Structure 1
Amino acid sequence: MRYVSLFLTFLLIIPLVACNNDKTETIRVAEVTRSIFYAPQYVALSEGFFEEEGLNVELTTTWGGDKTMTAVLSDGADIALVGSETSIYVQAQGSSDPVINFAQLTQTDGTFLVAREKMEDFSWDQLKGSTFLGQRKGGMPQMVGEFVLKKNGIDPHNDLELIQNVDFANIASAFASGTGDFVQLFEPQASIFEQEGKGFIVASFGKESGHVPYTTFMAKQSYLDGNKEAVDKFTRAIYKAQQWVQTHSAKEVAESIQSYFEDTPLETIEMVVDRYRSQGSYATDPILDEEEWDNLQNIMDEAGELPARIEYSTLVNTSIAEKIISE
């Protein structure tokens, strides 16, 4: 009887061990905003790539770079999806637990120049003397905006009236209500304005500014050190999604992520995905290279927003992405 009891106990232990090995791990992700610009992230969620890795990703939209970084620094989130410039700001303040960029999602600026009137033969010098409704001072969109203006021979503080005191969430409505001759907008708002006849896309800041680590996944060094397997799985799921976006049609991508943009028509999502993909905005792998890092700091420096030049190796870890790609 004793041996039967031991045998039954052994049989009960086996499924408990198996269940423990199959345990799903939760990762809390804070995204800086909700945007079609981040399509591969939503594909990873909707196509089950995180689930395949045994991960439960809890996604929260924190609406702003400062709030997103605060969530990570205060342990309110494990991973942030935000512009790499935020990690530089934190490091320049003397952080003892640096926030490390480990997987890149977008590699160009995601904004477009929208004019109030249709302009068939647009040239950048047409902005001279105009009123330009730009993005929030210190943020990556604003810095790229000024960089592109200067690149095209325009002094943003002397050649036009530059408005930068409108909150990110209210920029589109401010333009719609009559503020500005030109505005710098993300999608899908730029395309929606075109459809409604409220504005017309005349140029892409992403094409003009070149490759930068515009939006990356980052986490505190302590989190990366203590959760190596989970971070590997997370990066693997993102890489699968990046490849999926490149090998499927814009319509298929739009259908995959539509549940994250319920108020946006499927046709508009498809158009935006196609526009971002055609200009190379979606990174095709998670590696943030040094040339992009240097370009980012040059743009920040040009805008007078670079607190200190930080070495690539200090805030960028490519070993995780490289390992995943080589598998």
Structure 2
Amino acid sequence: MTKALKISFIILIFTTFTFFAGCSDSATPKTQEKIRLAEVTHSIFYTPLYVAIEKGFFKEQGLEVELFNANGGDKTMTALVSGSADIILVGTETTIYVYSQNPKDPAINFAQLTQTDGSFLVSRKPIDFFKWDMLKGKVLLGQRKGGMPEMVSEYVQVKQGIRPKVDNTIIQNVDFANLGTAFVSGTGDFVQLFEPVASKIEAEGKGYVVASFGKDSGKLPYTVFITRQSMINQSPEKVQKFTNAIYKAQQWVENHTIEEIADVIQPQFQDLDRKIMLRVLDRYRSQGSWATDPIIDEAEYHNLERVMENAGELKSKAPYEKIVNTDFARKAMR
């Protein structure tokens, strides 16, 4: 299914459920401050969110957050517009795709969590002094077309004088969850992976992290919290309380060691070796992946547009002020 058809399908679902979702919100007793939160995947990349959960920052705001993994950008946005999620954590690009369909109840970005790409380039062999032009003539096991990781990969390559899919081969038909397994099984010379998969493969001696896409692509609103305009209109206090908790978690992460952070988020990753967890946390902190406040910066938003334009995925622009609301973030910081 093409990206356009997927988005059209999402909008169709949205149109069908808007009325009923609105009724559901109004019928919910005010004493039950529940938030259904869908995340695009479960990753240490989203550490401040898990800190907010484990440290009880949502509970302090009178919120009960029900977190679930939607497993993919399209599924995550579908969860929002169908009414099965109140808030979602996913890339800003999804709201741009939806905005292009002129929805009656647009998806609004209201709080930023990560400000860089969170993926790494993993090589089959160790490379002491990696240069991006080493991708020329090679096979890269990449991410899905239209998704932010793949767009960032192509953006970085172009900046380094590489013509993606011309100077190299990019495989894009492997599911996100199976990328690490496919690489270990022998597919590709390089693979683009998120943590902790990259570090797990490295610890097993089956691959080696040689570069960071986040360092070389610049800051952008990579992963943000999004809700429907109708929820902002009907339950602004919920959105504010949610943002307050996220900001408190961001500040907590900023002011604590990776060892202390690991202690807090361990329940979210019970099967992950502590040494690997510390390595992952150190990588994300060292490259400034976690936003220290929830404001979605306009300059970073325009950098996102450049990344999408480079990939040929920005068919029409969505004005910043139409899909971004910084009121809750600014109030939380006050």
State TM-score, norm by structure 2. 0.90
| Matching of residue 68 in structure 1 with residue 68 in structure 2 | no
| Matching of residue 77 in structure 1 with residue 100 in structure 2 | no
Query: Relative to structure 2, which stretch is displaced further, 164-173 or 206-215?
Result: 164-173
Query: What is the aligned counterpart of 1:126 among 130, 134, 143?
Result: 134
Q: Which residue of 2 aligns with 1:225?
A: 233
Question: What code does the residue aligned with 2:216 have?
Answer: E
Q: Which residue of 1 aligns with 2:123?
A: 115
| Matching of residue 199 in structure 1 with residue 211 in structure 2 | no
| Matching of residue 256 in structure 1 with residue 264 in structure 2 | yes
| Matching of residue 278 in structure 1 with residue 286 in structure 2 | yes
Structure with max Cα Rg: 1
Q: Which runs of 4+ in 1 moved over 6 A?
A: none
| Matching of residue 49 in structure 1 with residue 57 in structure 2 | yes
Summarize the alignment of residues 151-300 of structure 1 with structure 2, pairs less than 5 Å apart: 151-300=159-308
Secondary structure at the aligned position of 1:258 is classed as helix
CA distance in 2, matches of 1:23, 1:95: 31
How many residues matched? 306
Secondary structure at the aligned position of 2:304 is classed as helix
Question: What code does the residue aligned with 2:262 have?
Answer: A
Secondary structure at the aligned position of 2:42 is classed as coil
Question: What code does the residue aligned with 1:127 have?
Answer: L
Deviations 1:274-302 (A, max 9, x none): 11011000000000010111011110010
Secondary structure at the aligned position of 2:78 is classed as helix
Question: What code does the residue aligned with 1:303 have?
Answer: A
CA distance in 2, matches of 1:307, 1:100: 19
Identical aligned pairs, as a percentage?
59
What's the Cα RMSD here?
Answer: 1.1
Deviations 1:96-151 (A, max 9, x none): 11100000000000000010000011111111111111111110000000000111
Secondary structure at the aligned position of 2:318 is classed as coil
CA distance in 2, matches of 1:285, 1:149: 29
Query: Relative to structure 2, which stretch is displaced further, 266-275 or 292-301?
Result: 266-275
Residue 23 of structure 1, CA deviation = 3.6
CA distance in 2, matches of 1:132, 1:22: 51
| Matching of residue 136 in structure 1 with residue 144 in structure 2 | yes
CA distance in 2, matches of 1:27, 1:307: 33
CA distance in 1, matches of 2:78, 2:31: 29
CA distance in 2, matches of 1:43, 1:278: 18
Q: Which residue of 1 aligns with 2:330?
A: 322
Question: What code does the residue aligned with 1:291 have?
Answer: A
Q: Which residue of 1 aligns with 2:44?
A: 36
Secondary structure at the aligned position of 2:102 is classed as coil
Q: Please say if residues 50 and 234 of structure 1, whose CA atoms lie closer than 8 Å, have aligned partners that are also in contact.
A: yes
Question: What code does the residue aligned with 1:181 have?
Answer: D
CA distance in 2, matches of 1:190, 1:285: 27
Deviations 1:243-263 (A, max 9, x none): 000111101111111111111
Q: Which residue of 2 aligns with 1:310?
A: 318
Residue 22 of structure 1, CA deviation = 9.8
Query: What is the aligned counterpart of 2:156 among 148, 155, 172?
Result: 148
CA distance in 1, matches of 2:296, 2:30: 32
Deviations 1:51-81 (A, max 9, x none): 0000000001000000000000000000000
Q: Which residue of 1 aligns with 2:21?
A: none
Provide closer, same or farther for how the CA distance between residues 22 and 94 of structure 1 changes in structure 2, counting only shifts above 3 A.
closer
CA distance in 2, matches of 1:285, 1:166: 34
Q: Please say if residues 250 and 271 of structure 1, whose CA atoms lie closer than 8 Å, have aligned partners that are also in contact.
A: no
Q: Please say if residues 255 and 266 of structure 1, whose CA atoms lie closer than 8 Å, have aligned partners that are also in contact.
A: no
Residue 307 of structure 1, CA deviation = 2.2
Secondary structure at the aligned position of 1:277 is classed as helix
